[in-house]
Amino acid sequence: MSEHTTEAVVQAPAVQDESLILEAVKEFFENRVAAVGLVIFIIMIGVALFAPYITPQNPYDLMSIDIMDGKLAPGSKSFDGSVTYWLGTDSQGRDMFSSILYGLRISLGVGVVSTIIALVIGAVIGLWAAFVGGKTDSVIMRIVDLQLSFPAILVALILLAILGKGVDKIILALILVQWAYYARAIRSNVIVERSKEYVEAAKCLALPQRRIMFSHVLPNCTPELIVISTVKVASAIALEATLSFLGLGMPITEPSLGLLISNGFKYLQSGYYWISFYPGVALLILIVSINLVGDRLRDVLNPRLKR
Amino acid sequence: MRNKFMALVTVCMLLLVCAAGASAETLTIGLKGEPTSLDPHFHNVNANNEQAIYVFDKLIRQDSRQNLMPGLAVSWIPVSDNVWEFELRKGVTFHDGSPFTAEDVKFTIERIPTVPNSPSSFTGMVSAIKKIEIVDPHTIRFHTEGPAPLLPRNMATFNVVSKKYGKGASTADFNSGKAAIGTGPYKLVEWKRGDHITYKRNDNYWGVKQPWETIIAKPITNDGTRVAALKSGDVDIINFVPPADVAHLSKDSKLTLSKSPSTRLIYLHLDSDRNDTPMVTDNNGKKIKNPMKDVRVRKAISKAINRKAIAARIMDGLAVPAAQMLPEGYEGTSKTLKPEAYDPKGAKALLAEAGYPDGFKITIHGPNDRYVNDGDIAQAVAQMLTKVGIKTEVNTMPKSVYFGKASALEFSLMLVGWATDTGEHSNCLGALLHTYDKDKGFGSANRGRYSNPKVDKLLEQALVTVDPARHNALLVEAVETGMNDIGIVPIHYQVNVWAMKKGLDYNGRTDGYTLPREVSETK
Amino acid sequence: MLAFLIRRISQSAVVLLVMSLLVFVGVFYIGNPIDILIAPDATPAEYARAVHELGLDKPLWEQYTIFLKGALHGDFGNSFVYNEPALKVILDRLPATLELAFTAMFIAVIFGIPLGMVAGMKANNWIGRNIMRFSILGFSLPTFWVGLMLIIIFSVQLNWLPSGGRGETVMLLGIPVSFLTLSGLAHLILPATNLALFKTSLAIRLTRAGVQENMQMDYVKFARAKGLSETRVIGLHVMKNIMIPVITVLGMEFGSLIAFAVVTETIFAWPGMGKLVIDSIGVLDRPIIVAYLLITVTMFIIINLVVDILYSILDPRVRLGQER
C-alpha cells in the first residue's frame, strides 16, 4: 500500500471547513431512516426538557400522588375523578405518562452525560498511553485492567455507602465504570493507526506530536468510537436500570426509565403489564433513535468512506 | 441443523418429564433463600434453621402457629425455681442407627458457644444454663443462675446433633454430609451449592412415616423466576410468593395457594432519645430540636399512616394491620390494643398542639432488598406523612449498607422488620423497646433508643417469673405501656404465601418455614 | 518476547496488590458484615464475640497484613458466611460461570460475525438494514427484563426449556461441565442466549463497521482487480483486517461477560460465581469478594495479554512491548 502514501496524507487530516460540515449535514439527511431517528431523538430531548410543562402530574411530588390510585389500568380516572391516567399508574399511584417523561429526562441525562465524560476521559488517556508508550502506557493499561474487572455493582455500592444516593453519584459511578473501556478501545485503535503511512508522513513533515495525535490520528479513530459510544450510551442507560434493579440506582421517589422498568419487573407476570411495558417502549424508542443517528453519523464522518 | 437441535431438546424434555412422572414420590421445593451451611449451629439465620429441621430434630418443636410441642423431649417441668427437668424420647435413633441419649443433648448445648467463626450463634439461647446434669440416659436437668421461664422457648430454637459425629466436626464436615447425621425425617444426600440439596427419606424416623421418598430443595432467589419455575412445572412448591403474583396464581387451575399470617412485623423506629437528630430540619432546612421526643408527634405519625391502604394497595391484601409486636394469640399479646385508625385531621391537630402547626422535614430510611415490598412501604409512609405536613424524603438502600448505618444511629426515622422466632413477646420487648443496655444485653435492636423505665421494670420482672399466668400478665402490661407511648409505630404483619401444584397441600407456618414433613398429597 | 512477558507479570502483581487493598478499604467503608449476619435479637456480648471471631475487631491494616501473609501461601481466608476457604468456594462455582460465558461468547461470534459481514456487504439493501435494526434490540432492553421474558415465553408458555438451574453435569478433564448432557444443554440455552444478546449485537456492529470500511480500501480493489473471488477477498483479506477491533472489544467483553453474568445468573438461578459474588456483596463477605476480584482481574490480565499477542500475529506492524 506504500504507493498511496501521498494520497493518504492529503485526506487524513480532518478539515474544519464550513462547506464540508454543511455537506456532512446534507449527507446525513439523505438517509430517511436516520433523519426520522434524529427527529425522534430531538422530540424526546424536547419532551424530556419540558416535561414539567407537558405532564398532568409531577410524579416526584409526594403531595400529588396517592397510593389509593395505585396500579390503575391505562385509561382509568383517579379516585377523585380529577385526572385520567392514559398509561395507567404504578404501585405508588404515579401517573405512568408523567413518570415516563420525567424518567426519560433522568435516563437521557445520566446516559449521555456519563458516556460523554467517560468518552473524553477515556479518549485522552487512551491516546496518551498509545503515544507515549513505555512505562506510562503500562501503568495506565494496568489501571484500566483493574477498573474493567471491578464489578459495577461494587463500585456503585461503595459510592452509595460513602457518598449517599443521587443522580450525581450514579453519573459518577457510570463514568468510573466506563472510562477504562474507552481508554482501552482507543489505545488499540491508535496503535494500529500510528503505524500507518499517513502518520509516518506527518512525522516526516515534522508536525508537532500533539497535532498528529489530535488532528490526524483521532479523526481516523472516530468511526470506531462513534459505533462503540452509541452502543454504550444505550448500555449506560441499561446499566443504570440494572443498578436500580439491584437497589443501587436512583432514589425511588425520583424514578428513571430504568427504575420504572425494574419497579414494574415484579408485576411482569401479574397482569399489571403497563408498569414496566410503557417505560420499556420509551426506552426502546430512545435507544433505537440514538443508534440510528449514531450509525449515520459514523458513515458521514468516516473520512475513509468519503471518496 | 437448528431443527435437529430443537428436536433433540424436545426429546430431552420429554425424557425429563417421563422421569419426573415416574418418581411421583419426589418433592421439589423452590426456596427463596439458600442456607450458608448445613451445620445447624454455625449461623443462626432462617434459611439455615429451615434446612436443619429436615435432617435434625429439636428438643421442643414449634407447631405451625409456634406453640411448643414435644420433640426429642416428651416433657419439661421446672423442678425448682432454678432447675428444669427434660424427659427425653426413648427409642429414637440417629440416621446411622446409633441411639439418641442425654449425652447428645449435653454435647449439643456445650458445642453451641464453641462453633468457630460463627457469624451469629445460638449462644444466647443456652447462656442461662449454668450446669447440665444427666440423671439417666433419658432424663436431663438444666441448672440456671436464676429463674428461667424462657428456657423451653429457647430450647425450641436449635437442633440436636449427634455426639459421635459432631465431636470435632468442622462446618465442611456437615456440608459434605459426613457429620450431618441427625434424628430427623430426612437424610442428606448431597448439596450442590447454588443449585440444589437432595435428601432421602429416613425410614427409621421416630415420628409419622414421611410421604416423600426424595426431597430436592432448590434455591431460586429471584421472585419472578421462582414463580415461573412453579408455573413451568420445574418445581412442585415455592415459598414467599410475591404479593403481586398471588391474584393471577390463584386463578391458575393447575395450582393451589396457601396463606398464613406470620410473626414478621413491619414497623417504624423513631429517634425518641436524642435532642439533636440527624435527619430532621424545619421547613426551611434549619436544624431543630428533635420533635419525636414528644409523644404527641409520635402519635401524630402513627395516626397519619393509613395501614389499611398499605395492606390493600401496596401489599395486595397480604398484610394484617398491626397494633403491637405480635399478632393475637401469642404470649404477652394485649387484647385491648387496636391498630391506630387513619386520622389525618387528628394527626395535624396533635402536631399543632405539640408546636408544629406547619410540620417539619424528615427523611425516612429503609432497606430495599430485605422485606416484602419494603421500598414501596417506605414511599407510601412518606406520602402519608407529607400529607399531614411532615415533608418526608425517602432514602432506601441495600441491606448491606442499611443495617450498619441504622445501628450506628445515622437515621431519625426508619422502616424495619422484626420476626419473633421464639413466638412470645419478651423477645421483641427486650430487643426493641427496653432501654439500650449493653451490659444486660437489652435493646440490641432499639435503633430509636426508646426508653421507658416502666417498660424496663415490667419486662425484667416477667423474665424472672416462672408462673405462666403472672409471666403473661406482666408482658401484656409492658406491651401496652410501650405501645401506648408509641415506642415504635407498628405498620403490619406480613402474610406468607406458598404456591404448589394442585394435588399438594401445605398448611403454611407463621415462622415462614417450608417443611416437607408437613406437605401432603391430597389424592 | 520473554522480557515482555516478565514485565507484564510483574506489573500484574502490582495490580493485584492494589486491587486487594482497594477492596479491603471499600468493604470497610460499606459496613460491618456482622450487622447483617447476626440474628437481630443477639445480645451485645454475642455481637462482640462474632466480631472477634471473624477478626473484625483488629485495625484494618492488621486485617490486611494477615490477609497478605495468607495470600502469599495461597490462603485467601475463610468465607465469613460459608466458613470454608474462600478460594475453594469460588473455584467450585467457577466452571459453571466459565461455561456460561464461553457459550454466550460462542453464540455471539457464530451469529454476530457472519451477520455483521452480511450487513456490511449489503449495507444498502433491506437485509443489511434489518440486521442492523434488529441488532439494536439486543442492547436496548435491560438484561434482567429480557431474561425473565425468555423464561416466561420458553419455559412457562411453550414449556420447551427449563426455567433455571444448571442441569446434569459430567466430568471433562476433572471439570464438571453440563454441555455434554441433554439436560445440561437444555438448561444452558436460555441463560447463554440472555447473556449473549448484547455481545451479539456488538459483534454485528463492529464487524459491519469494519467490513464497510475495508471494502473501500485499495487493497480490496487490487484484490478484486487481480481477479480473486469475492469469497476469498472477504473471507481472507477483509476478515484479517477487521479482526483487530473485533478481538479487542470482544476480549474486553469476555471479561465483562464474567463480571456481569451476575444478573443473568440471578435470574436463571445459575449456580455460578456471579450469583455467589452478588450474594457475598449483599452480606459483605469480604474474603469471597476479594478472592473473586483477584480471580477476575487475573483473568482480565491473561485475556489482555492474549489479545496483545494476537495483535502482533494478525498485524505485523504492531510490535509487542511498543517501546520506542
Residue numbers of A between 120 and 179 with CB closer than 8 Å to C: 133-134, 137-139, 141-143, 145-146, 148-154, 157-158, 161-162
Q: Are the C-beta atoms of B158 and B70 separated by less than 8 Å?
A: no
Chain A residues with CB-CB distance to B245 below 8 A: 269-270
Number of helical H runs and strand E runs in chain B: 17, 22
Lowest mean pLDDT among B336-350, B437-451, B493-507, C22-36: C22-36
> Measuring CA to CA, how many Å separate C118 from each of C109, C111, C133?
14, 11, 13
pLDDT at C137 (0 to 100)? 77
Beta strands in chain A (DSSP E): 76-77, 84-85
Mean pLDDT in chain B? Answer: 90
Chain C residues with CB-CB distance to A158 below 8 A: 26, 29-30
What is the number of other CB atoms lying within 10 angstroms of the CB of residue C10?
10
Beta strands in B172-308 (DSSP E): 186-192, 196-201, 214-219, 237-238, 255-270, 280-281
Chain C residue with the nearest C-alpha to that of A229? C202
B8 in reach of chain C (CB within 8 A): yes
Closest partner residue to C31 (CB to CB) among B218, B401, B444 is: B401
Interface touch C164/B225, C-beta < 8 Å: yes
Cell numbers found for residue B153: 422457648
Residue-wise pLDDT tens digits, B117-150: 888 899 989 989 999 999 999 999 999 988 998 8
Interface touch A66/B393, C-beta < 8 Å: no
Cα-flanking dihedrals φ and ψ of residue C51, to 5°? -60, -40
- Record the pTM: 0.86
Mean pLDDT, to the nearest integer, of C288-304? 83
pLDDT at A217 (0 to 100)? 80
What CA–CA distance (Å, rounded) separates B289 from B277?
8
Chains touching chain A through at least 3 C-beta pairs below 8 angstroms are B, C
Q: How confident is the model at residue B359 (pLDDT cuts 50, 70, 90)?
A: very high
DSSP β-ladder status, B129-136 and B139-144:
antiparallel
Residue showing cell 464461553: C102
Q: Are the C-beta atoms of C27 and C36 separated by less than 8 Å?
A: no
Cell numbers found for residue A165: 444516593
Chain A residue with the nearest C-alpha to that of C8? A138
Interface touch A158/C216, C-beta < 8 Å: no
Residue numbers of B between 403 and 462 with CB closer than 8 Å to C: 403-405, 407, 418, 421, 427-428, 430-431, 438-439, 441, 444-445
Interface touch C164/B398, C-beta < 8 Å: no
Mean pLDDT, to the nearest integer, of C53-73? 88
Chains touching chain B through at least 3 C-beta pairs below 8 angstroms are A, C
Cell numbers found for residue C168: 446434569
Closest partner residue to A146 (CB to CB) among C209, C297, C311 is: C297
Q: Are the C-beta atoms of C71 and C20 separated by less than 8 Å?
A: yes
Residue showing cell 435437529: B4
Cell numbers found for residue B481: 405501656
What CA–CA distance (Å, rounded) separates A113 from B27?
52
Amino acid sitting at position A156: A
Chain C residues with CB-CB distance to A227 below 8 A: 205-206, 209
Q: Are the C-beta atoms of A235 and C205 separated by less than 8 Å?
A: no
What CA–CA distance (Å, rounded) separates C299 from C286?
20
> Chain B: nearest CA to C170, how far in angstroms?
14
CA B281 to chain centre: 35
Cell numbers found for residue A168: 450525581
What CA–CA distance (Å, rounded) separates B345 from A188?
67
> Chain B: nearest CA to A234, how far in angstroms?
25
State the burial class of residue B127 (Cβ atoms within 10 Å of its Cβ: 0-12, 13-18, 19+): middle
From the options 1.20.120.330, 1.10.3720.10, 3.40.50.740, 3.40.50.720, give the CATH code of C86-314.
Answer: 1.10.3720.10
Helix axes B223-231 and C143-150, enclosed angle (nearest 10):
10
Q: Are the C-beta atoms of C95 and B183 separated by less than 8 Å?
A: no
> Chain B: nearest CA to C246, how far in angstroms?
26
Mean pLDDT, to the nearest integer, of B379-385? 95
DSSP β-ladder status, B159-160 and B391-397:
unpaired
Domains of chain B: 2-219 (3.40.190.10), 262-495 (3.10.105.10)
> Chain C: nearest CA to A83, how far in angstroms?
30
What is the number of other CB atoms lying within 10 angstroms of the CB of residue A305?
15
Closest partner residue to C282 (CB to CB) among B44, B400, B445 is: B400
Cα-flanking dihedrals φ and ψ of residue B490, to 5°? -70, 140
Q: How confident is the model at residue C319 (pLDDT cuts 50, 70, 90)?
A: low
List of residues 6+ apart from B198 with CB closer than 8 A: B188, B189, B190, B191, B214, B215, B216, B217
Interface test with C, best of A44, A140, A144, A145 (most C CBs within 10 A): A145
> Chain C: nearest CA to A265, how far in angstroms?
7
Q: Percent of chain B scored above 90 by pLDDT? A: 73
Mean pLDDT by 10 residues, chain A (307 residues): 37 52 78 86 91 87 84 82 84 89 90 91 88 83 80 77 82 90 84 78 79 78 75 80 80 86 85 86 86 78 56
Residue-wise pLDDT tens digits, B250-265: 999 999 999 998 999 9
Chain A residues with CB-CB distance to B309 below 8 A: 67-68
Interface touch B444/C47, C-beta < 8 Å: yes
Cell numbers found for residue A78: 383517579
The more confidently predicted of residues B267 and A232 is B267
Alpha helices in B167-238 (DSSP H): 171-176, 223-231
Q: Are the C-beta atoms of B423 and B331 separated by less than 8 Å?
A: yes
Domains of chain A: 29-44+98-286 (1.10.3720.10)
pLDDT at B4 (0 to 100)? 52
- The candidate with the shortest Cα–Cα distance to B366, out of B268, B496, B223, is B268
Interface touch B394/A161, C-beta < 8 Å: no
Residue B270 has pLDDT above 70, yes or no: yes
Alpha helices in B1-122 (DSSP H): 2-22, 46-55, 102-111
What CA–CA distance (Å, rounded) separates B183 from B73?
13
Q: How confident is the model at residue B462 (pLDDT cuts 50, 70, 90)?
A: very high
* Secondary structure in 3-state letters for C151-175: HHHHHHHCCCCCCCCCCCCEEECCE
- The candidate with the shortest Cα–Cα distance to A187, out of A136, A126, A131, is A126
pLDDT at B412 (0 to 100)? 95
Lowest mean pLDDT among B176-190, B206-220, B282-296, C140-154: C140-154
DSSP β-ladder status, B214-219 and B26-31:
parallel
Report DSSP letters for B383-439, one per residue. HHHHHTT-EEEEEEE-HHHHHHHHHTT--SEEEEEEE-TTSBHHHHIIIIISPPBTT
Chain C residues with CB-CB distance to B397 below 8 A: none
Q: How confident is the model at residue B93 (pLDDT cuts 50, 70, 90)?
A: very high
Lowest mean pLDDT among A11-15, B497-501, C182-186: A11-15
- The candidate with the shortest Cα–Cα distance to A174, out of A236, A126, A119, is A236
Q: CA dihedral in degrees (A202, A206, A210, A216; nearest 10)?
A: -10
The more confidently predicted of residues A81 and B432 is B432
The more confidently predicted of residues B234 and B21 is B234
Mean pLDDT in chain C? Answer: 82
Mean pLDDT, to the nearest integer, of B318-326? 94
Chain B residue with the nearest C-alpha to that of C272? B194
Amino acid sitting at position A218: L
List of residues 6+ apart from B201 with CB closer than 8 A: B185, B186, B187, B210, B212, B213, B214
Chain B residue with the nearest C-alpha to that of A271? B248
Closest partner residue to B383 (CB to CB) among A66, A71, A164 is: A66
Mean pLDDT, to the nearest integer, of B75-97? 94
Residue showing cell 495468607: C70
> Chain A: nearest CA to B220, how far in angstroms?
15
Cell numbers found for residue A56: 398532568
Residue B2 has pLDDT above 60, yes or no: no
The more confidently predicted of residues C249 and B428 is B428
A191 in reach of chain C (CB within 8 A): yes
List of residues 6+ apart from C122 with CB closer than 8 A: C128
Residue B478 has pLDDT above 80, yes or no: yes
Chain C residues with CB-CB distance to A159 below 8 A: none
Chain A residue with the nearest C-alpha to that of B405? A161
Chain C residues with CB-CB distance to B441 below 8 A: 43-45
